[in-house]
């Protein structure tokens, strides 16, 4: 009886989840035998894993049945994060397997026009010839269906949700699965689950860009997207006033901590042209986006004016990048899309 004999005896013991041998997975370690006492280490994702007692029982049963073995001592240790990631890699999310680039539109502040910008930036990318999807990840107040005048519910095919095609892009929102006036009451675990479903179980197909409209704040939706899409780029939205900048700084801090690339900053509601003068009227202050850009070392890739057509487009379901793509504001969106594409090559 030697250590190798003991290891071989444990080869038939399988990990219940992965249906692979504990030995082949490298989870059996430090096997020794002395005076009939076998000692070994069992490595698991956590030393408090619910599999702990089950696997310890199987190991003791198998090894204890060997001749010359009087007792079995099993020590359970936790795998390091690196070992866990190598041994048990996460399965890719099926729905987004063919998506080349991910762009999350974020802001720590509500009411800055983030969804309006997400919709029109997505359409500006379509205008440039890219295959684009738009995911409304605001699980609390999904407004993309209203802005695009989508009234029909999504269908399913082979257990996959089929996004709605409109204006040359594929669109998915929680607002397409229930009445637009229904309240969505989600708590942490459910938020994570529903967002994973919208990535994994939606048939996005081949896309150059999946634009994701995040809700305000730095809570569960933003954290879930950050963890699920480590290569996702972030487009930050602000308005000029300091109260907006303070919240955007918190959002920037979150994505800096998660290691995500912030592709640029857009200042919305920068100024207003009243028609009686060529001088822009800076209703919400001046230079806030530029200051934040310099402070956070993030390029300011667009300043969007207060444009009545932009708001009317959201209300009518015909966005500005559909009704007037070559207007002054439309050209700004085209420049933003160009900057994003250049930075993601």
Query: Where is pLDDT greater, at 4 or 279?
Result: 4
pLDDT in tens, 193-248: 888 888 899 999 999 999 999 887 666 778 888 888 888 999 999 888 777 788 88
Interatomic CA distance for residues 172 and 246, integer angstroms: 31
The architecture in CATH of the region 94-343 reads 3-Layer(aba) Sandwich (3.40)
pLDDT in tens, 77-134: 999 888 887 777 666 788 999 999 999 998 877 778 899 999 999 999 999 999 999 9
The alpha carbon of residue 120 and the mean position of all alpha carbons in its chain are separated, in whole angstroms, by 20
Residue 183 confidence (pLDDT) above 60: no
Domain boundaries, the chain: 3-87, 94-343
Strand partners of residue 106? 236
Same fold, 3-87 and 94-343: no
- How would DSSP label each residue in 148-163? TT--SPPEEETTEEEP
Q: Which residues contact 186 (CB under 8 A, 6 or more apart)?
A: 139, 140, 194
Predicted TM-score of the model (pTM) = 0.72
φ and ψ of 80, to 5 deg: -70, 165
Check: CB of residue 45 under 8 Å from CB of residue 52: no
Sequence-ordered strand ranges (E) for the chain: 28-34, 37-44, 71-78, 99-106, 132-136, 155-157, 160-162, 164-166, 169-173, 207-213, 233-238, 262-267, 300-303
The alpha carbon of residue 53 and the mean position of all alpha carbons in its chain are separated, in whole angstroms, by 35
The architecture in CATH of the region 3-87 reads 2-Layer Sandwich (3.30)
């Amino acid at each position: 009886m030697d250590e190798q004999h003991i290891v071989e005896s444990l080869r038939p013991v399988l990990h219940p989840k992965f249906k692979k041998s504990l030995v082949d997975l490298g989870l059996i370690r430090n096997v020794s035998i002395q005076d009939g006492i076998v000692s070994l280490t069992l490595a698991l994702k956590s030393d408090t894993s619910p599999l702990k007692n089950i696997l310890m029982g199987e190991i003791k049963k198998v090894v204890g049945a060997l001749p010359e073995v009087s007792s079995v001592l099993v020590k359970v240790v936790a795998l390091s994060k690196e070992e866990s990631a190598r041994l048990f890699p996460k399965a890719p999310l099926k729905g987004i397997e063919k998506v080349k680039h991910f762009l999350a539109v974020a802001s720590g502040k509500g009411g800055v026009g983030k969804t309006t910008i997400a919709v029109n930036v997505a359409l500006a990318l379509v205008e440039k010839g890219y295959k684009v999807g738009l995911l409304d990840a605001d699980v609390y107040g999904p407004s993309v269906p209203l802005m695009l005048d989508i009234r029909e519910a999504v269908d399913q095919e082979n257990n996959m949700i089929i996004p709605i095609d409109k204006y040359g892009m594929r669109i998915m929102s929680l607002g397409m699965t229930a009445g637009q006036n229904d309240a969505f009451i989600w708590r942490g675990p459910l938020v994570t689950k529903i967002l994973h479903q919208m990535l994994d179980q939606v048939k996005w197909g081949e896309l150059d860009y999946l634009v994701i409209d995040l809700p305000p704040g730095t809570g569960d939706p933003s954290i879930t997207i950050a963890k699920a899409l480590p290569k996702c780029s972030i487009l930050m939205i602000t308005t000029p006033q300091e109260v907006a900048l303070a919240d955007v700084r918190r959002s920037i801090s979150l994505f800096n901590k998660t290691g995500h690339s912030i592709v640029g900053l857009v200042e919305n509601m920068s100024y207003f042209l009243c028609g009686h003068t060529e001088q822009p009227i800076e209703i919400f202050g001046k230079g806030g986006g530029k200051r934040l850009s310099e402070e956070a070392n993030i390029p300011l890739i667009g300043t969007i004016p207060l444009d009545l057509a932009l708001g009317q487009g959201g209300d009518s379901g015909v966005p500005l990048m559909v009704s007037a793509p070559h207007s002054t504001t439309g050209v700004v969106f085209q420049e933003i899309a160009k900057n994003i594409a250049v930075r993601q090559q």
